[in-house]
Amino acid sequence: MSKRVLTTESGAPVADNQNSASAGAGGPLLLQDQHLLEKLARFNRERIPERVVHARGSGAYGRFEVTDDVTGFTHADFLNAIGKRTEVFVRFSTVADSLGGADAVRDPRGFAVKFYTEEGNYDLVGNNTPVFFIKDPIKFPDFIHSQKRDPFTGKQEPDNVWDFWAHAPEATHQVTWLMGDRGIPASYRHMNGYGSHTYQWTNAEGEAFFVKYHFKTDQGIRCLSAEQGAEQAGKDPNSHQTDLLQAIERGVHPSWTLYVQIMPAAEAANFRFNPFDLTKVWPHSDYPLQRVGRLVLDRNPDNVFAEVEQAAFSPNNFVPGIGPSPDKMLQGRLFAYADAHRYRLGVNHTQLAVNAPKATTAQNYGRDGLMASNAQGRHAKNYEPNSYDGPVETGRPLSAPLAVSGHTGTHEAPLHTKDDDFYQAGELYRLMSQEEKSRLIANIAGGLSQVSREDVIAKNLAHFHAADPEYGKRVEEAVRALRED
């Protein structure tokens, strides 16, 4: 069997891939050596800008299967029948560190699911925590700057981390999650995933519901202590990637059961706290979990760069029956995610294999741009409406309209009767066992005690005192003890 011929990018055969062309046996190299110049030029351009957040990631393909009837709440086609299966791609990630960071670190984890539905791709972009640090997207760049490497020292600084949190009392709930036992998952397989935001479902009759997504791991929750995490990160910085890859390769397919909480839209306005506040959870006693289906991952990508690094998730990729809510953080991300991908990957990133629809075909009037492959043929027009049988609008909105009122301008979110930045953080603390509380206190004190300014420490301590008097007292004593050593 003859071997395939190595060629240049233009398809010409390569005579010698071991030696560069030169002026004589020992002379300088020649500019005419197309193969050499092409290889070096392409090598210089192999990397693209990494994600500012969620840079370090892993991913896999699989399927989502509906197990329960939810047609009374949404007319989304991929959820319309028990037993219906939809292909998915899932990307897991750490949030704050760069592409070269370790997996086993104390950090939230991204949990993004791309459903390749028959009505287009639906991207559900969430985390492994049901809440987040802030509730307004205008604070997001500042928050991430405080968590990333300092411009002067080039490393993450406790002063920056805790100074931001000192000025963001709404972060207390997420800080309690992050510093608790679930702050370092043992693997991507052993953690839950959450949509985190509030979304809207609309049924066939036009009734609107607000929903929160919960992917519960079928493998069980497993986490690492701070000491175990440090040891794991030193032994294998790629520990979560290794675990996911090897599990799927040996036929151990990780799975999650999807549940939703469902709130009739009419109940949102008078709920005791703002249901669209990303720093809060909906109590299960108010809105119990309802099972929807099962997510299974069973195939590894063939090329991590092409399929994981270039995977582009955007929360504004909705399908009929699903839409946004007034969640301010979600509203900001509807723009920011897609814009980040246009910057990193180009305006035609949706044509890449991992991002393109699989169960349907994209048909629109987008043309040209870098790496365009959407010429459409000589008779296709790039405007609409037209007289040439081009694709047309349906006139059917994807979701129900959101009611709006009032004046334009910058507004704080309207207060509900029980809106509070600290109550749910205290509830989470009080749910913990004594051993869990002790580990939480140690994790918080370990970072807060390194802060150089006493006023920043005091502001953070006030947040923990407000969440729960015992919580605040124990953190304060632990910080004092570490600073006196």
Beta-carbon contacts of 89 under 8 Å, excluding residues fewer than 6 positions away, are 59, 60, 61, 62, 113, 114, 116, 307, 311, 354
pLDDT digits (tens, 9 = 90+) for 421-455: 999 999 999 999 999 999 999 999 999 999 999 99
**Tokens of residue 410, six digits:** 């910058």
pLDDT digits (tens, 9 = 90+) for 397-428: 888 888 888 888 888 877 788 889 999 999 99
Mark whether 54 is an active-site residue: yes
pLDDT band at 381 (very low <50, low <70, confident <90, very high): confident
Please tell me the pTM assigned to this model.
0.94
CB 338 within 8 Å of CB 104:
no
Please state whether 371 falls in left (phi above 0), alpha (psi between -120 and 50) or beta: left
Phi/psi for 210 (5° steps) reads -100, 140
Minimal CA–CA distance to 108: which of 212, 218, 183, 205? Answer: 183
Strand segments, DSSP code E, in 250-409 are 255-264, 290-299, 322-323
The catalytic residue among 35, 75, 121, 127 is 127
CB 112 within 8 Å of CB 91:
yes
Least confident stretch, 25-29, 54-58, 131-135, 364-368: 364-368
Task: Give the span between the Cα atoms of 320 and 420, in whole angstroms.
Answer: 35
Task: Give the span between the Cα atoms of 75 and 138, in whole angstroms.
Answer: 33
| Encoded amino acid at 418, one letter | K
Structure confidence at residue 160 (pLDDT) = 97
Structure confidence at residue 336 (pLDDT) = 94
pLDDT digits (tens, 9 = 90+) for 118-165: 999 999 999 999 999 999 999 999 999 999 999 999 999 999 999 999
Kindly list the distances between the CA atom of residue 357 and the CA atoms of 80, 233, 312, 317, 362, in Å, as whole numbers in the listed order. 19, 36, 12, 11, 7
The catalytic residue among 35, 54, 75, 463 is 54
Task: Give the span between the Cα atoms of 332 and 146, in whole angstroms.
Answer: 19
**Tokens of residue 217, six digits:** 């791991």
* Alpha helices per DSSP H over 98-203: 140-147, 158-166, 172-179
pLDDT digits (tens, 9 = 90+) for 180-218: 999 999 999 999 999 999 999 999 999 999 999 999 999
**Tokens of residue 337, six digits:** 């995610």
Give me the sign of the Cα torsion angle 216, 222, 223, 229. Answer: negative
Task: Give the span between the Cα atoms of 327 and 331, in whole angstroms.
Answer: 6
Structure confidence at residue 383 (pLDDT) = 84
Task: Give the span between the Cα atoms of 320 and 342, in whole angstroms.
Answer: 24
Structure confidence at residue 188 (pLDDT) = 98
Phi/psi for 306 (5° steps) reads -65, -35
Q: What is the CA radius of gyration of the chain?
A: 25
Task: Give the span between the Cα atoms of 246 and 453, in whole angstroms.
Answer: 46
Q: Hey, how many other C-beta atoms are within 10 angstroms of the C-beta on 351?
A: 16
Got the DSSP string for 397-419? -SSPPPP--S-SS--PPPPPTT-
